[in-house]
């Protein structure tokens, strides 16, 4: 995931480090909702996973690398947002695992 455009925003707004979000995405039990049910554009995915460093279940929003043909991320996804998972997302994560 490339967080170069949004890491500072996510850190200041939600207190989540990009490395924690990466851990949540890489969680073997992460739940991928494709597309993100809250996405207006349909171009983002929601990943609900556990971060060992944060010791929390996180909700991470990723945008596909192909969303901008002029600029490519360093990786397969642009990191867009991340926060401590809400109760509904935690339940969704728990039901899947």
pTM: 0.91
Task: Report pLDDT digits (tens) over 27-50.
Answer: 999 999 999 999 888 889 999 999
Task: Report pLDDT digits (tens) over 58-74.
Answer: 999 999 877 766 766 56
Interatomic CA distance for residues 47 and 29, integer angstroms: 10
Which residue range is the domain that position 65 belongs to?
Answer: 7-96
Cα–Cα separations (whole angstroms), residue 20 to 10, 60, 72? 11, 10, 22
Identify the CA nearest to 21 among candidates 71, 63, 56, 64: 56
| In a domain? residue 1 | no
Q: Retrieve residue 91's tokens.
A: 């339940």
Interatomic CA distance for residues 43 and 54, integer angstroms: 27
Question: What percentage of residues in the chain have a pLDDT greater than 70?
Answer: 92
What are the residues facing 78 on neighbouring strands?
A: 2, 63
| In a domain? residue 72 | yes
| In a domain? residue 65 | yes
| In a domain? residue 2 | no
Count of structural domains, the chain: 1
Give the model's pLDDT for residue 18.
97
User: What burial class does residue 90 get, using C-beta atoms within 10 Å of its C-beta: 0-12 exposed, 13-18 middle, 19+ buried?
Assistant: middle
């Amino acid at each position: 995931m490339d967080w170069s455009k949004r890491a500072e925003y996510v850190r200041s707004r939600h207190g989540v480090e990009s490395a924690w979000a990466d851990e949540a995405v890489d969680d073997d039990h992460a739940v991928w909702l494709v597309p993100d049910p809250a996405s207006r554009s349909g171009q983002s995915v929601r990943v609900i996973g556990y971060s060992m460093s944060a010791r929390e279940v996180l909700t991470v929003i990723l945008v596909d690398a192909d969303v901008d043909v002029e600029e490519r991320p360093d990786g397969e996804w642009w990191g867009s947002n991340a926060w401590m998972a809400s109760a509904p997302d935690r339940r969704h994560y728990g039901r899947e695992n």
